[in-house]
Amino acid sequence: MLMQNKNVPSLINRRSGDTKDKKKSLLVGVSFNESPSNRKPGDCSNHSDKINVESPILDDLFNTPTLGSNFDYPNSPVTPVTPYLDQVPFSKSPHIYGDTKEITKYPLNDDKLESFVLIPEVFDIKLVERLGKGGNAYVYACELSTTGSIDNVFSTAIKIPINKSKVKYILQEAKMAIKLREFQNTWFQTECRFFPFIDCYGLYYIDRQKFDMIKPREAFPCLVMKRMTYSLTEFVSTQSKEAEADKTKIHLTLWWKLCQTLLDALKVLKTLGLVHCDLKTDNVMITEYNSTLPIESQISQVLFKVIDFSSTNEIQGMVKCPDMTLQFTAPELLDFSKHPLPTPNSDSFSAGLILLEAATGSKPYSAAGYDHFYLLSVIKEGKVMEWLSPEDMCILNANPDVKRVLEMFLIDRLPVESISSFIQTL
């Protein structure tokens, strides 16, 4: 998880959250200075026939940044300096930090990965603080700067493999990140919305000099990415303490914005022939915002980003299920006798569970307890909506549009296109 350990400020006054708030949310750029090529920012004129901007729920989600706004753009913050291996003269020697120490870097054996490397002759990274630890990697806050310069410093995050055997997951994630960034310009030009995935800037080799958990004379490729502020898990937990009994745990406008972000992510993955395989609340992050602004402005600044592509795979060629999280796994993937494989439909089910937790504040199947074997049998039944507590049902019954969308994800198992079409009619 890429998060800071600090309290999440309250976004809203719950008693003021009515349907008018839905119309006031505006997407705002967050950190970068580049805009997509071949398209003027704010120009969506050729898409007016596709987007129902009069929708009381979605008009804010389709609002394109103006000329005064910024896009998330994959080349920042390493722009304007050309950072990649194929753009800087560099010998592919295993001795990467000078001749005095022979450090063998982990081989990439892939031209695209080689071109994704940020080299120490141009860039320097300083680890700042540990943000978290997953099954495959540590996550640290770090400062990315131009070597020898103190003026051009960016706050980023970096995933460092726990050991040599976990490097393959970092490289898998880097490959998927490259595919996504190659598609990013197309997305901006055709959809006029912000990209739903976190920006990854490149691979950077780290050795024992920078991180003492690495063995001497070894250097591992680590993934440098945009630093986010909160995970959705932390955000929902904090907001749940302040929500009224019949209100969604995150502000209703934010719930619809999260819904659109997940639909966009599913659409991109399907277009590229990919499945994420590990969609869950821990893998959705939230951008930082200015808590001193009015409530409506705070809400408009919040952007959600899907992270963690270490389990992401191409649909074609997949031979087994990657690592997944049980409570967010589609029921059909637990029928081991049929050797099932993840599909866009199983990703969609996981997205529905994320939205369910954001609405109710409860983990999926929490009413069933946490015994692993019993939970496994409950999930296989495919009746997650029947395991909601009375308090959870109170929230959904008070928000019928939210309830219907959740049913489309979790009961009807409708395709993304059908759910998107329904939401535009609200």
Binding site per annotation, positions:
159
Cα(14)–Cα(21) distance, integer angstroms: 11
In this structure, are residues 406 and 356 in contact, taking their beta carbons and an 8 Å threshold? yes
Angle at 279 between CA 371 and CA 132, to 5 degrees: 80
Cα(407)–Cα(322) distance, integer angstroms: 27
Residue 284, strand partner residues:
306
What crossing angle do the helices spanning 400-410 and 252-271 adopt, rounded to 10°?
Answer: 20
In this structure, are residues 192 and 64 in contact, taking their beta carbons and an 8 Å threshold? yes
Cα 306 vs. chain centroid, distance in angstroms? 1
* Total Cβ atoms within 10 A of residue 391: 12
* Annotated binding residues for ATP: 159
In this structure, are residues 222 and 158 in contact, taking their beta carbons and an 8 Å threshold? yes
Angle at 27 between CA 67 and CA 5, to 5 degrees: 120
Half-sphere exposure of 146 (CA within 13 A, CB side): 12
Tokens encoding 169 = 């997951």
Cα 203 vs. chain centroid, distance in angstroms? 18
Cα(243)–Cα(11) distance, integer angstroms: 11
Contacts of 327 (CB under 8 A, 6+ apart): 280, 353, 363, 364, 365, 375, 379
In this structure, are residues 321 and 212 in contact, taking their beta carbons and an 8 Å threshold? no
In this structure, are residues 238 and 39 in contact, taking their beta carbons and an 8 Å threshold? no
Q: Is 306 helix (H, G, I), strand (E, B) or coil?
A: strand
In this structure, are residues 34 and 75 in contact, taking their beta carbons and an 8 Å threshold? yes
Question: Distances from the Cα of 307 to the Cαs of 54, 181, 259, in angstroms?
Answer: 31, 13, 16
